[in-house]
Amino acid sequence: MKCIRMLLAASMLMFIFAGQVYAETIKPLSAEKRQEYVALSPFEFKNMLIDRAGENGKPILDAGRGNPNFLNTRSRLAFSMLHRFAVECSIRYDAPKDLGFSPTTSVGMADRFTVFLIKEPDKGTAKFLMNAMAYCSDKLGIAPDTFATDMVDAILGDHYPTPSRMLNTPATIVEAYLKSIHFTKGNTPAGSFDLFATEGATAAMIYVFNTLKENFILTPGDEIAIITPIFSPYLEIPVLKDFELNPIYVAGSENTDWQVSDEELNKLRSKKIKALFMVNPMNPGAVSMSAKSVQKIAELIKKERSDLIVLTDTVYCPFVNEFHDLLEAVPQNCIGVFSYSKYFGVTGWRLGVIFVNRRNIIDRMIAALPSDKTALLNRRYSIDSTEPEKIRFIDRLLMDSRDVALAHTGGLSTPQQCVMSLFALYDLLDSNHVYKKSIQSLLSKRMSNLYSSLKMDSPSGAEQTQYYNLVNILALAERLHGADFSKYLTDIYSPFGFLLELAARYQTILLPGVGFAGPEWSVRVSLANLPDGHYIAISKNLVALLDEYYAGWQNK
């Protein structure tokens, strides 16, 4: 009996990894389960992983969603300080308790604001607000009284947004900020940009898709190109019954750090393709498109595809040192989508903006529609204008966002527009990029931690955001245990099963790269949302799980 017990104990030791014990070889997923998971959004699959990870009550390492655990503090303090000033401006001492009134005059508002700031004990935040007011006056042509009055009016939130699309002062500030982060110095495109403040990039995406459909720019069966890998809703929305578009994938390659080859870019020559959708820098590839690729697409548009619409989602551009975008090269073809969520840590605030060049091709396309379609659109928008045919694309976005009938109450809340302006001004005033360098240093450390046990080189370079990373599990398996083992994984198992086991055994949540049109056996890691040291644990857990698969292979 004693010998039997010793043999059993020895066999159990083969399954002890990272302090956990497993008594049997990992079972592969059924074909039916694999098909179910392929069809599922990676963000919905994440919820299943969380459930699986939580079964034993241990702490969970959730690197699935890209919600940052860092945030900008100065702008928030400024918002609080400005809000107190605005409320004081609304108080009338002859009024009943707690009853305030909208300030009625802008004359002397800047002086009153300055006096208020001088008395504030938080000198750093007060100085920021005074510098912001001076910057707007000196660089943007916004008079101090106008700045102070408009910001007070916005932060109180006691009016509908007017203009509905975006308040005048925030629009001027945000346009200046967008130009500063999107365009190389001295190369800003001609013409101004029209802005529509939205509830984050999520709302911006939906509004753009809907208005392109409503205005017959994209119709069912049309082909659209999508540069991959990409944020999964850009894959999922076009094929919904609402749109029924036909996606053509233009694939970035892992072998070239997710840059797109000339062969793939040549797909855009097809005149069947009506629009190009891209996230630049990539999510999840986490790299900015190279200057060469941008120039190639731009030349193609100028010479062959002047009718190609480009939606470029640039949420991650503040994180990189080298950024190239089609907004600079062919602005008239582009719809820009930007969100403050990641860089300033405001995913809960929902701060986004759509911006298009005043001289854009979409307005020309709408004007050139056949008479029957023009008549339908005139009927749609006639409740908002006596000259509906003259309504520009950017304004149609606003109207469609509220089903036209509620356009008069449309627009992002004015306090959101106020704080959006403060974030923009913070970055405009941070001429030495201290905040940016702090974030880059933080993400770089986490990337190094992630690769600490992987025996692979971590991504780096001026075009890297380091916000996400795609880890190739097969390449890692081959490095650790050889090519035959890597082939064994693909023959028997699936990446979805691997992630489920990672969640169940190591309480580690990562997303399937295939859900973003990435390589089948890649996993997306968010470097943004966990403490630095947790990425060392994730690194070890990936290796430990592969060791378990390897032990099962050795003992089969």
User: Which CATH number goes with the domain that contains 182?
Assistant: 3.40.640.10
Note whether residue 375 is domain-resident: no
- Tokens standing for residue 305: 């595809």
Note whether residue 149 is domain-resident: yes
d(C-alpha 517, C-alpha 38), whole Å: 11
Domain range enclosing 464: 11-66+434-554
- Tokens standing for residue 61: 């390492």
User: Which CATH number goes with the domain that contains 143?
Assistant: 1.10.20.110
**296 shares a domain with 333:** yes
CB of 530 within 8 A of CB of 63? Answer: yes
498: part of which helix (H) or strand (E)? helix 495-506
Note whether residue 376 is domain-resident: no
**286 shares a domain with 358:** yes
Q: For residue 378, report the phi and psi dihedrals to the nearest 5 degrees.
A: -60, -40
Cis peptide before 247 (omega within 30 of 0): no
Note whether residue 408 is domain-resident: no
Note whether residue 398 is domain-resident: no
Question: How high is the mean pLDDT of the chain?
Answer: 93
Sites in the chain below the pLDDT cut of 70 = 1-24, 186
Note whether residue 473 is domain-resident: yes
CB of 136 within 8 A of CB of 173? Answer: yes
Q: What is the pTM of this model?
A: 0.93
d(C-alpha 275, C-alpha 268), whole Å: 9
**205 shares a domain with 62:** no
Q: Which residues of 168-197 are buried (b: 16+ CB within 10 A; e: fewer)?
A: ebbbbbbbbbbbebbbeeeeebeeebbbbb
State the amino acid at position 399 in one-letter form.
Answer: M
197: part of which helix (H) or strand (E)? strand 193-198
- pLDDT tens-digit map of 382-425: 999 999 999 999 999 999 999 999 999 999 999 999 999 999 99
Listed residues 321, 345, 370: the one ending a domain: 370
Note whether residue 41 is domain-resident: yes
**517 shares a domain with 458:** yes
The position carrying tokens 């004007």 is 367
Q: How many CA atoms lie within 13 A of 82 on its CB side?
A: 31
Beta-bridged to residue 338, according to DSSP, are 353
CB of 449 within 8 A of CB of 532? Answer: yes
The position carrying tokens 């595809």 is 305
For helices 123-139 and 168-182, angle between their N-to-C axes, nearest 10 degrees: 90
**88 shares a domain with 178:** no
**90 shares a domain with 60:** no
**364 shares a domain with 215:** yes
The position carrying tokens 């089969």 is 556
- pLDDT tens-digit map of 225-276: 999 999 999 999 999 999 999 999 999 999 999 999 999 999 999 999 999 9
pLDDT of amino acid 433: 97
**110 shares a domain with 186:** no
pLDDT of amino acid 325: 94
Of all residues in the chain, what percent carry a pLDDT higher than 90? 87
pLDDT of amino acid 24: 57
Count of domains forming the chain: 3
Note whether residue 508 is domain-resident: yes
Listed residues 314, 348, 370: the one ending a domain: 370
**79 shares a domain with 61:** no
pLDDT of amino acid 104: 83
Listed residues 323, 345, 370: the one ending a domain: 370
User: Which CATH number goes with the domain that contains 59?
Assistant: 3.90.1150.10
**366 shares a domain with 510:** no
**224 shares a domain with 334:** yes
pLDDT of amino acid 25: 77
Question: How distant, in Å, are the alpha carbons of 254, 323, 469 from that of 461?
Answer: 15, 12, 13
Strand pairing class (61-62; 193-198): unpaired
**81 shares a domain with 62:** no
Question: How distant, in Å, are the alpha carbons of 110, 118, 180, 188 from that of 144?
Answer: 5, 16, 22, 26
CB of 230 within 8 A of CB of 254? Answer: no
Displacement of CA 402 from its chain's centroid (Å): 23
CB of 526 within 8 A of CB of 66? Answer: yes
d(C-alpha 536, C-alpha 447), whole Å: 9
d(C-alpha 68, C-alpha 319), whole Å: 13
Q: Pick the closest to residue 169 from 191, 179, 156, 154 (CA basis).
A: 154
